[in-house]
Structure 1
């Protein structure tokens, strides 16, 4: 299950907290409340069937009574299963919220320390933790109520069967030994019935969760996309995006032709980064369209994952610098040296003891912001992406290094759309043209 869910998230990633919840807590709940329970539920059920069958050797009334009580012992708690199901779903939801809150607040831990604001962190974590604990308490309480209902029928069965056997004895319909034996069997039957009911409710309480995980395990067949190498033009037409808080951004119409080097500029808040995400299909449009065409002016549907995209939040991995450049594809190693030169990383490499074999840790990265940008730029270069969308890709690199990198980028065959602030006149002149975004 976990492997299939991982495959799903590889294609359609979600928030880290949601993925952690499904891959950790939810799978653990399914294991303990479904798979572990299922085997013993089946064993109890088999025992009940055979034992009730044995009562036939004494008198059919004992069987009828056992079946009636067993029926109510099963049906009545079943009416309560929607509450236990809802309670289990709430535990999953609260756990996801808790993980999401931890992720969001601990990302800003350094800032909280800087302003000595530990109390707000404790408060937020405490509140969310309490909500999670309450949801778990409510789930346990609902299970206890179901258990109490089952216990009532359990007592009725254990006491009722021997009593009926006693009445039959005085009516000379069964022997004295049948009373003791029926009592013994009744204990076994209704203990197992009670156990079955409890286990059944546990099994059913996970239904919503199991349905959710089942959907995540469905691996859609890879859609057929056109190669990004077929893209001859990218057209933005009557495009607008509306944010959740209500703000709407409208974009000018424009066309970027294959091989063009375009600089995207505008004040903060004009939607430059959002535009790149729209072009990559990551954000839904409010109106308008993005049109990709081939050299025959035909509409195509490229695989956006194959487009080179460098976001402001760089993605690095706990691995060597070389592996971060090649993305663990050793076949690309022979392209790395030229990428190091083109991205002004030669002097940076010389300062490292193990050079490109140097291992880095994402949370304690020994590379500066500018060096990390160079690594990600080299990654795009060695993979020879024919289209590059760059969001402030050189903002942390010194002027000399940035100029060299931009010169190499603009002299290549790639189609380039780049967001940048504060470029020098020399750097701006390297681009074919500029697209200016304006505020509302």
Structure 2
């Protein structure tokens, strides 16, 4: 993310904003220049010329106000369009990279991090444009009045530009700290609010509020530390500005008294100083803030990189798999190792084992959501030959079904209209017809995620129907009928296992009648 990229994105709007700020900065200095001429006219008792200069001054004031206001509106529209593209690229990257990302990290990247770039980089860049215009205008004006004033200003400018560089590293560290603290805060909220009903049930709200408050306090402290560094930067700039302003005013008085400069400069030198040193102070401040975002902008740039679509990789549909010496180690020091196994095309496997033997973890390894620490997974296609797998073709029904705030139909087809004709048969196969008939809008009923309007069993049936219409050739089912009564489970299993798809089903407390539906049982041990 950079101003160069923003220019390439919408050059017309970018140039318009730059021109408005340039002319606005020049016009601000023009007010001080005209003030000098006004006082010269007063000294010569030239009323008519004084009034003309007053009118010019008024016109310049109005233009400065309108130019900056209009530039601000155009700039914000430009940035919002640009950030929309950036967010889309980040979302595409996270979607395609086949890695597990915490929702809090993604939220932080798409909101807080971009807001930091917005305020500390792009808005700073916009302000700097007008300030540079003001500096060059002051330099030209002083040169026309008295060259020694320009030399003195250049000396003080060099000092003012150098001082803020002392805080560059501190600013970068402060910005990173804010980003990380916000990321942790969002994760804490997500981890606790997802189990809010359990917190209420066990009256554990004091603990939850205490933990959330601590995370919030860490974020608050990070913002306070950033503000402290900002204030130190402002103090250094203000100190150099005040010293320079006082010394330039003394020099002007000396030159006027000795008839080496125009009388009107006594009145306008304060305005010139304000424009010059104020702009220098602002440039030093804003360039420091821009530099502080360097690391964050690099991270966002990495998160925006386009990843080759799966469709461009000659990937094939997965029908079966095998594992060899497969194991995964977790950060807490624990891990899971698996015995070698091979699942044949079309087999119906019942996967069992005690809690902690890695049944659900195996599914996540097969889906690419987790990376193995060692060992290998081989995937096979229709001809039982090893393939480069398109993991999106594997049907997966997790313990907690994932639904979206759209209609039941769209939750089943996942927005593929060509599958609409398969919805009704699939709904019948998973015993969902009677449930749908209870809703006034039927299959078009919209899922409400805030006030869930479907039961746990209905959610599982909807996701089961989703796997049916997408006709996956390898289906992984992780206790996805736990909320459905035993009779309905039997009917659903018979429908699912009637197909030629390879099915691996994780379940507990299966009776013998259910076991007989499967070709074989694989029991995982620790």
Q: Map of 1:31-430 to 2, 5 A cutoff?
A: 31-168=118-255, 173-174=260-261, 176-177=263-264, 181-223=268-310, 224-229=312-317, 231=318, 233-294=320-381, 298-430=385-517
Deviating beyond 6 angstroms after TM superposition, the runs of 4 or more aligned structure 1 residues are: none
Q: CA offset at residue 235 of structure 1?
A: 1.3
In the alignment, is the contact (CA less than 8 A) between 2:457 and 2:483 conserved in 1? yes
In the alignment, is the contact (CA less than 8 A) between 2:178 and 2:226 conserved in 1? yes
Unaligned runs of 5+ in 1: none
Select between 270-279 and 43-52 the one with higher mean Cα deviation.
43-52
Residue 75 to residue 418, structure 1, CA distance change in 2 (3 Å):
same
Q: CA offset at residue 169 of structure 1?
A: 5.5
Residue 177 to residue 39, structure 1, CA distance change in 2 (3 Å):
same
Residue 233 to residue 126, structure 1, CA distance change in 2 (3 Å):
closer
- Partner SS for 1:292: strand
**CA–CA distance in structure 2, aligned partners of residues 2 and 248 of structure 1:** 36
Aligned-residue Cα RMSD (Å) equals 2.1
Q: CA offset at residue 21 of structure 1?
A: 1.5
- Partner SS for 1:263: strand
Q: CA offset at residue 431 of structure 1?
A: 1.3
Q: Which has the higher helix share?
A: 2
Residue 364 to residue 175, structure 1, CA distance change in 2 (3 Å):
closer
2:111 alignment counterpart: 24
Q: CA offset at residue 429 of structure 1?
A: 1.4
**CA–CA distance in structure 1, aligned partners of residues 375 and 401 of structure 2:** 30
In the alignment, is the contact (CA less than 8 A) between 2:329 and 2:373 conserved in 1? yes
Deviations 1:327-366 (A, max 9, x none): 1223211111211221122222233333212222123222
In the alignment, is the contact (CA less than 8 A) between 1:81 and 1:201 conserved in 2? yes
In the alignment, is the contact (CA less than 8 A) between 2:185 and 2:216 conserved in 1? yes
In the alignment, is the contact (CA less than 8 A) between 2:477 and 2:504 conserved in 1? yes
Q: CA offset at residue 66 of structure 1?
A: 1.4
- Partner SS for 1:264: strand
**CA–CA distance in structure 1, aligned partners of residues 425 and 382 of structure 2:** 30
Q: CA offset at residue 243 of structure 1?
A: 1.5
1:6 alignment counterpart: 91
- Partner SS for 2:476: strand
- Partner SS for 1:239: strand
Q: CA offset at residue 73 of structure 1?
A: 0.8
Q: CA offset at residue 37 of structure 1?
A: 2.6
In the alignment, is the contact (CA less than 8 A) between 2:322 and 2:342 conserved in 1? yes
- Partner SS for 2:522: strand
Residue 233 to residue 385, structure 1, CA distance change in 2 (3 Å):
closer
- Partner SS for 2:503: strand
In the alignment, is the contact (CA less than 8 A) between 1:312 and 1:391 conserved in 2? yes
Q: CA offset at residue 20 of structure 1?
A: 1.6
Provide the TM-score with structure 1 as the length reference: 0.93
Residue 74 to residue 306, structure 1, CA distance change in 2 (3 Å):
farther
**CA–CA distance in structure 2, aligned partners of residues 52 and 156 of structure 1:** 18
**CA–CA distance in structure 2, aligned partners of residues 364 and 167 of structure 1:** 77
In the alignment, is the contact (CA less than 8 A) between 2:320 and 2:474 conserved in 1? no
Tell me, yes or no, if structure 1 residue 431 matches structure 2 residue 521.
no
Alignment: residue pair count: 438
Deviations 1:12-65 (A, max 9, x none): 462111122222222222222222232121100111022113322344433232
**CA–CA distance in structure 2, aligned partners of residues 358 and 117 of structure 1:** 35
**CA–CA distance in structure 1, aligned partners of residues 273 and 459 of structure 2:** 72
Q: CA offset at residue 102 of structure 1?
A: 1.1
Deviations 1:204-255 (A, max 9, x none): 22222222222222222325444443x4541100111112111122111111
**CA–CA distance in structure 2, aligned partners of residues 225 and 420 of structure 1:** 35
